[in-house]
Amino acid sequence: MRALPAIDESKEPTHVAHLHLLAVINTELTRFPPGEVIRVLDAGCGAGYLIAFLADLLPRLRPELKYDFYGFDVTDRPSEDFGAAVEELARRVPGTPWEERLVRIPAETPWPYPDGFFDVIVSNQVGEHLRDHGQFFGEIGRCLNSRGFSASLFPLKHVILEWHVLIPFAHRIRNYDVLTAFIGAANRVRSRFLRREEEDQAVAERARNQAAYIIKYTGYISYGELLSTTKRAGLLMSTRYTKEFYVQKLRQMLSRPPLYTYSRPRSIFGDWLLFILLRYVQGVTVFLEKGDV
């Protein structure tokens, strides 16, 4: 693999999830012949940071290919300023009509793209916020072409720590009153452990807000539900590349250079065993193909 210029960390620290998804895409792009135009969609693009990252590095990793980048987010939940995302992308990746390529749509509505339009569909930490996973994976199956692939990074229901509130098992409780009491108790224990004085009213208010966020804006699914949902969407699902996310994370913690490509030959037993363990830690990588025959 050709060397890349060092990533400029002075602008903003590179998110390990972005590095991981970049490496997955770069590894799988070998399936496309030189000269192809690769259409890439970021489903749930937020402020467009992942798109900007991919648009900067993919042409340097695979200059024999051409790229068109698209992104969308939903209007139904709190989001960063979408107009600012368009302006930032225009500054960082000029020459692309970002006001047309980035759109916002209501949740659970069809995506505004033709059938089989995309070669690559990615999402970063979106799956745990979905209300209708069937609709999401169904749209991936509709919009992905026969040669394409999708890579999504998100935690499953098996994860122990709920990362939005940093409280174990908080995502398992769906009753608002019970969850509010559970989060309040956990926050009080944490405050005592950290020897941090907080008023009871402030603790209770934070617990109510955190409980409301988890119930309204998260929707974790189990591995079994993931299997059945992707099957109904006509997709072939695997969890390959799950372990590589943690390898990438460890390399970043040790100040080692990032990986831009992963090994394609897989140890099926090793991948499966590590997935069984790692699904309790944080995110898993959901890799999807149509597998048309």
pLDDT digits (tens, 9 = 90+) for 68-87: 999 999 887 655 566 777 88
* pLDDT reported for residue 79: 56
Are 50 and 18 contacting, i.e. CB atoms less than 8 angstroms apart? yes
Burial class for 230, CB neighbours closer than 10 Å (0-12, 13-18, 19+)? buried
Tell me where in the chain the CATH 3.40.50.150 domain(s) lie: 16-157+220-289
Tokens of 42: 């970021």
Tally the residues of the chain.
Answer: 293
CATH number, domain 16-157+220-289, options 3.10.20.600, 3.40.50.150, 3.40.50.720, 2.40.50.140 = 3.40.50.150
Contacts of 86 (CB under 8 A, 6+ apart): 48, 98, 99, 102
pTM for the complete prediction?
0.90
Across 248-263, b (16+ Cβ under 10 Å) vs e yields bbeebeeeeebbbbbe
Percent of the chain scoring above 90 in pLDDT: 70
Residue 203: which H helix or E strand, with range?
Answer: helix 200-217
Q: What is the pLDDT of residues 156-215, one digit of tens each?
A: 999 999 999 999 999 999 999 999 999 999 998 888 887 777 777 888 999 999 999 999
How many Å apart are CA 223 and CA 242, to the nearest integer? 13
